[in-house]
C-alpha cells in the first residue's frame, strides 16, 4: 500500500496525522522522540541517555581532576611521580565515551605540561617539532616531524588509569625508554611464571612421599 500526497508522484510523509490512522505504526505516540534535557556543563541540550550527555558529564569530572592536580601541585610537574590507579570518571563509563575523553585528555595534558618533555626538558612547537634525522634519504639526512606523546606512569596493562595524575608528556626518545623497560619487565615476569610452572610439575605426587603427611 502506497500513500500519495496532494501532487501526483509525490509520497505523503509519515507525520502525526498519518501515524494516528496507520495500522502499521503501533504505538506511534509512545515512540516519539524524548524531550531534550538541559546540560549544566556545556549549556546545551541532550537527549536522555545519549552519548553526548554522558560525555559532557564524565568530561566535567576529568576537568575537575585536572583542576585539583593544578591546585595541589605548585611546581612545574602537575602529576604524581608514582602515578595512580584512580579513575577520573565513573567506573561504568562506556568504552566509547572513554575513547572520546582520551582524545580530549591527551591535548589537555600536553597543554598542562607546556608542550615540554617532562624527563629531558626538550620543548616542542605545539604537539610536534621539526627535527633533523641523518638516517633519512639513504643516509644523506633530512628533516621530519616528531610528535610529543602522553605517557602512562603506571601502564594500563598494570591497571594504570587515565587520571591526569598518571599522565605526563614525553618526547619519543624518552617514551621509548619506558616502553623498553616495560617490555623487559614483562618478559622477566613471563620467564618466572614458566619457571614456577616447571617446578610445580616436577613436584612428586602425594603417593610418592615416603611418609604420611597427614598422619594420625
pLDDT tens sequence for the chain (216 residues):
455 555 555 555 666 666 666 666 655 445 555 678 899 999 999 988 899 999 999 999 999 999 999 999 988 899 999 999 999 999 999 999 999 999 999 999 999 999 999 999 999 988 888 888 888 888 888 888 899 999 999 999 999 999 999 999 999 999 999 999 988 988 898 899 999 888 888 887 666 555 555 555
Which string of DSSP letters, residue by residue, matches 167-208? EEEE-HHHHHHHHHHHHHHHHHHHHHHHHHHHHHHHSPPGGG
For residue 23, is it within any domain?
A: no
Q: What range defines the domain where residue 89 resides? A: 58-196
For residue 183, is it within any domain?
A: yes
Which string of DSSP letters, residue by residue, matches 30-64? TTSPPPEEE-TTTSSEEETT-HHHHHHHHHHHHHH
For residue 8, is it within any domain?
A: no
Which string of DSSP letters, residue by residue, matches 99-130? HHHHHHHHHHHHHHTTTB-TTT--B-BTTEEE
For residue 212, is it within any domain?
A: no
For residue 149, is it within any domain?
A: yes
Q: Please, are residues 47 and 36 in contact by the beta-carbon 8 Å criterion?
A: yes
For residue 138, is it within any domain?
A: yes
Amino acid at each position: 500500500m502506497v500513500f500519495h500526497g496532494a501532487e501526483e508522484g509525490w509520497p505523503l510523509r509519515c507525520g502525526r496525522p498519518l501515524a494516528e490512522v496507520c495500522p502499521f505504526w503501533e504505538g506511534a505516540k509512545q515512540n516519539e522522540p524524548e524531550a531534550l534535557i538541559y546540560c549544566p556543563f556545556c549549556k546545551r541540550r541532550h537527549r536522555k541517555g545519549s552519548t553526548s550527555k554522558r560525555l559532557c558529564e564524565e568530561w566535567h569530572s576529568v576537568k575537575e581532576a585536572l583542576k585539583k592536580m593544578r591546585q595541589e601541585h605548585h611546581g612545574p610537574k602537575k602529576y604524581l611521580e608514582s602515578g595512580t590507579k584512580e579513575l577520573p570518571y565513573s567506573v561504568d563509563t562506556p568504552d566509547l565515551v572513554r575513547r572520546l575523553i582520551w582524545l580530549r585528555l591527551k591535548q589537555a595534558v600536553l597543554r598542562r605540561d607546556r608542550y615540554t618533555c617532562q624527563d629531558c626538558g626538550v620543548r616542542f612547537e605545539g604537539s610536534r617539532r621539526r627535527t633533523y634525522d641523518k638516517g633519512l634519504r639513504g643516509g644523506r639526512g633530512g628533516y621530519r616531524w616528531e610528535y610529543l606523546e602522553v605517557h602512562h606512569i603506571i601502564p594500563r596493562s598494570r591497571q594504570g588509569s587515565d587520571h591526569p595524575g598518571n599522565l605526563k608528556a614525553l618526547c619519543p626518545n624518552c617514551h621509548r625508554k619506558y616502553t623498553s623497560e616495560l617490555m623487559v619487565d614483562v618478559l622477566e615476569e613471563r620467564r618466572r611464571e614458566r619457571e614456577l610452572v616447571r617446578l610445580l610439575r616436577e613436584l612428586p605426587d602425594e603417593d610418592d612421599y615416603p611418609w604420611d603427611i597427614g598422619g594420625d
